[in-house]
Structure 1
Amino acid sequence: MAQKEDSKYYKEALEEYKELCNDEEDVWDKRINDTGCYVENMALQLCHADTNDWRQCLGEMALFRKCWDQKGNRERVSTVDK
């Protein structure tokens, strides 16, 4: 299982998130932040942007999925699949 401390993208995303908290949040950032998984989402995006290959971002994807499930987002968006 991937660990947050093992991901350079997670560390970079955490720094970006800290800066974001000091700035005015735009609508998109607010929606992502409300999921409780902003840093994990950003880490996944940074990894993909850097590698251009989702397969190289499986650790970041696992961290995002774990966060998503732990924060109850699957239930929150369950109406999307109906």
Structure 2
Amino acid sequence: MSDSQYYKQASEIYQDLREDAEQDADNIEVWDKRIDNTGCYVENMALQLCHAETNDWRQCLNEMKLFKDCWESHGNRERIGTVDKNQTDIKN
């Protein structure tokens, strides 16, 4: 899918996570479950890995695009609108 070194690393991390989930789903972190539910775990992890290594978002434009494209293709934009609306309702 991508020639990004970070994407390749993230794919390996995701594979390990999936194997762990098959063995013991209760021990998977809540954060990992939430990110996995977006359908963009690998893209999110690739972006995090890139930024952690480079400490410069400008060097992670490829990873940002992969994440953005994934996010939109999985309908997560609408998901955020719902979350924001619910949080606004709670504050009022």
Instruction: Tell me, in whole angstroms, the C-alpha distance in 2 between the residues paired with 1:11 and 1:36.
Output: 16
Unaligned runs of 5+ in 2: 21-26
Superposition deviation, residue 22 in structure 1: 1.4
Task: Could you list the structure 1 runs, at least 4 aligned residues long, displaced by more than 3 angstroms after superposition.
Answer: none
2:45 alignment partner, one of 26, 42, 45: 42
Instruction: Tell me, in whole angstroms, the C-alpha distance in 2 between the residues paired with 1:37 and 1:22.
Output: 17
User: How much identity, in percent, do the aligned residues show?
Assistant: 65
Give the structure 2 partner of residue 78 of structure 1.
Answer: 81
Unaligned runs of 5+ in 1: none
The answer as to 2:37 corresponding to 1:19 is no
Give the structure 2 partner of residue 10 of structure 1.
Answer: 7
Structure that is richer in helix per residue:
2
Superposition deviation, residue 5 in structure 1: 2.4
Residue deviations 1:53-74 (CA, integer Å, cap 9, x gap): 0010000000000000000000
Larger Rg over CA atoms: 2
Instruction: Tell me, in whole angstroms, the C-alpha distance in 1 between the residues paired with 2:57 and 2:14.
Output: 22
Larger relative contact order (CA 8 Å, sep ≥ 6): 1
Instruction: Tell me, in whole angstroms, the C-alpha distance in 2 between the residues paired with 1:25 and 1:71.
Output: 22
The answer as to 2:35 corresponding to 1:32 is yes
